[in-house]
Amino acid sequence: MASILRYLESLGLVAMATLLGTPIRALLHPTNLVMLYMAAVVIAAFFLGRGPAMLASFLSVFAFDYFYVDPRLSFTVADTEYLVTFTGLLVVGLVVSGLAARVREQLQALRERERQVEALNALSRDLTSAVNLDAMLQAVVRHVNQTLSREVVVLIPRPGGPLERRASTTDFMLDESELGAIHWAFEHSETAGMGTNIFPNAKARYVPLKTMRGVMGILGVRPRQPGRFLTSAQRQQLEGFANLAALAVERASLAEEANRAQVLGEAEKLQTALLNSISHDLRTPLVSIQGVLDSLLEMEEGGENAVVLDREARLDMLENAREETTRLNRLVENLLDMTRLESGTLKLRLEPGDLQDVIGSALAHLDDPYKNRPVNVHMAENLPLIPMDFVLMEQVLINLLDNAAKYSPPGAPIEINVNCLDGKALVRIADRGQGVPPSELERVFDKFYRLNRPGQAKGLGLGLSICKGIVEAHGGRIWAENRPGGGMLVTVALPVEDAGRRGGAR
């Protein structure tokens, strides 16, 4: 319909040139009116195309002969010289129409390439700003859909597995015949489906996303109305989109591999550091215990180099061995508790318990070097019973008290305050040590975290992390803050009511 309209417009241009020449034909020689028809031919060539311009050339010759060459209103030519004019008008008209049409076609091609480049640049910008692979693929689907007015699907292979749909428009469905074209295109790295010789009956065209590393996936496009094939320019545009999509998928894959390698490297470094730390912390008490046992054994065997120790010295050695044994047992228990927390096998046995009993039991189980440290306990009156696992909460308080004693000066008191507020039982344990830098307050509950200070206390850095896991398993919170005047305050908040008996696995 649009093509017929252009030819009718060409006819209208010749008619207009004839009308314009009618009032002035008496003032000019007829051959001068040829320029009006020439102008009509040029306009038709530039705006309407090659075919309408050629029609305008032939119509101009006939109109000039019929209306302006004597005898007028007939195709008879009295003066044969006009045959040269007719020929010149026709030849020049055809040549000009061809040149003007070529300029028009080149201009249209230039505009089409400009639109293609603009569309590719827009997609490139969106791919650059996308934060992950899914966002990249959604950008590809959106741009292809808007530019080519087609349904779109992108399929990416799973790691070591088959292709899977990762992004698509809502109406894109895949059946067995479509999957055959998709797998062929992926395996052979060639376009298949609609408009090709491979699976030509498919409803969509499937383009492989190729890079130097191989085929990264498949980009499929399907017309919204069956049977509407892509033009040559649209196929070029689709290839450009496929190239950008392939590079984006490759970039995401490389980034993922780099992140994985970095994580593995960091994990290996952390594993090495942890093994070194654990081996050192476990070896120290073992060496001490072995030294005590070796000394006592040599003394009992009575060898030549045996040193005879009095009863008080032997008791000191045995006390030291017992302290190191207790410390070794604490380290092993922390490792086991952390393993249970991370594996989800830690189970709570919730029963109503008295916080005063838990605190008293924890103080009784502190290591001997810390038993002589003053501990001030302030309990609010009429505290309710708290649903808790008595043994685990005792472990929490032991770890907190042990941490407070390690990081505060000898003889400095430890304060314990217990009250209720807004349905929570609050247990606050405060010391008068050096405190923690504000930027590291959130990290004190991380696994294997220890403050880097000269002469710092020994340990694996698991105590506070285990406390956090146990408290959160009870549905509570734990946090740390610095005290005015120096020292650290750790607060444990436990729910007073038993919300559904949280006794399951954690």
Work out whether strand 414-421 and strand 375-379 pair parallel, antiparallel, or are unpaired: parallel
> What was the pLDDT predicted at 499?
39
pLDDT above 60 for 242 = yes
pLDDT above 90 for 427 = yes
Determine the longest span between alpha carbons in the chain, in angstroms: 153
Most confident listed range (69-83, 219-233, 489-503): 219-233
Q: CA-to-CA distance for 126 and 119, rounded, in angstroms?
A: 11
Q: Which of 254-263, 408-417, 445-454 bottoms out in mean pLDDT, i.e. has the lowest?
A: 445-454
Q: Which helix (H) or strand (E) holds 469?
A: helix 463-473
Which of the four pLDDT bands, split at 50, 70 and 90, describes residue 502?
very low
Q: Which of 425-429, 459-463, 479-483, 484-488 bottoms out in mean pLDDT, i.e. has the lowest?
A: 459-463
pLDDT above 70 for 504 = no
Work out whether strand 424-430 and strand 488-495 pair parallel, antiparallel, or are unpaired: antiparallel
> What was the pLDDT predicted at 500?
38
pLDDT digits (tens, 9 = 90+) for 77-108: 666 666 777 777 778 777 877 777 777 778 87
Q: CA-to-CA distance for 261 and 268, rounded, in angstroms?
A: 10
pLDDT above 60 for 457 = no
Take residue 143 and report the two structure tokens written for it: 């741009």
CA distances from 506 to 42, 340, 352, 467 (A): 85, 9, 19, 14
Domains and CATH numbers, the chain: 2-111 (no CATH), 132-258 (3.30.450.40), 347-495 (3.30.565.10)
Mean pLDDT in residue range 37-57: 81
**Dihedral (CA of 33, 37, 38, 43) sign:** positive
pTM summary value? 0.47
Q: CA-to-CA distance for 156 and 220, rounded, in angstroms?
A: 12
Coil vs helix vs strand at 49: coil
Residue 196 identity (one-letter amino acid): T
> What was the pLDDT predicted at 219?
92
Q: CA-to-CA distance for 153 and 218, rounded, in angstroms?
A: 8
DSSP 242-253: HHHHHHHHHHHH
Which of the four pLDDT bands, split at 50, 70 and 90, describes residue 342?
low
Q: Which residue has the tokens 């990290």?
A: 443
State the chain's mean pLDDT as an integer: 79
Mean pLDDT in residue range 311-317: 78
pLDDT above 90 for 428 = yes
Which of the four pLDDT bands, split at 50, 70 and 90, describes residue 338?
low
> What was the pLDDT predicted at 429?
92
Coil vs helix vs strand at 355: helix
Q: Are 407 and 431 in contact (CB under 8 A)?
A: yes
Q: Which residue has the tokens 């597995």?
A: 161
Q: Which of 33-47, 291-305, 450-464 bottoms out in mean pLDDT, i.e. has the lowest?
A: 450-464
CA angle 356, 386, 401 (to 5 degrees): 45
> What was the pLDDT predicted at 340?
65
Beta bridge partners of 387: 352
Mean pLDDT in residue range 184-211: 90
How is residue 477 annotated by DSSP? Answer: E
